[in-house]
Amino acid sequence: MRRLTPFHLAIPVHDIDAARAFYGGLLGCPEGRSAERWVDFDLYGHQLVVHRVDGLAPRVAGDNPVDGHDVPVPHFGVVLELPDWHALADRLRAAGVDFVIEPHVRFAGQPGEQATLFLLDPSGNALEFKAFADIDGQLFAT
C-alpha cells in the first residue's frame, strides 16, 4: 500500500481566538505557524489553516440524506483509527458539544460500515470524523 501524504486545507473563520479554542483546545490540534489573521494547525498529521475573514457568512450550504441523517454540505474531516475515534467522541461528549449528527455507526452490517460524527466549528464549518474497523478494506467499499 502506498503511503498517504498529508493534505493542506485552508478555511475561513470569523474569530481567530475562537478557532484556537476549538481546534487547539477542544480537538487538541497542535498549533504551528501563525500571524494576526491566520493559524496553522496539525489536524491528525494534516495541515489545516484557518484564515480570519471579515463578514463571514454561514458555511453550510445545505444537506444531503445519508443513511437516515442529513449530512451537512460542504464538510471536511479525517478518517481515524477506531480507538482514536472513540477517544475523540468521548472527549467531545464530555465537553458538551452540540453535534450536528451524534456519534453512531453508519451503514451497520453493510460494506463500508463506519463510526461517524459531525459537528460545526465556531464559524459554522462542518467537520466529520469517521473510523472503520478495517480502513484499507472498507474506506472505498462498494
Cβ distance 119 to 127 under 8 Å? yes
Query: Which pTM was predicted?
Result: 0.93
Q: How many CA atoms, within 13 angstroms, populate the side-chain half-sphere of residue 13?
A: 24
Kindly report, residue by residue over 5-64, the tens digit of the pLDDT.
999 999 999 999 999 999 999 999 999 999 999 999 999 999 999 999 999 887 788 999
Kindly report, residue by residue over 115-131, the tens digit of the pLDDT.
999 999 999 999 999 99
51-71: b or e for each residue (b if 16 or more CB lie within 10 Å)? ebeeeeeebeeebeeeeebeb
pLDDT for the residue 59: 73
Residue 39's nearest CA partner among 60, 73, 9, 82 is 9
Query: Across residues 56-77, what is the average pLDDT?
Result: 90
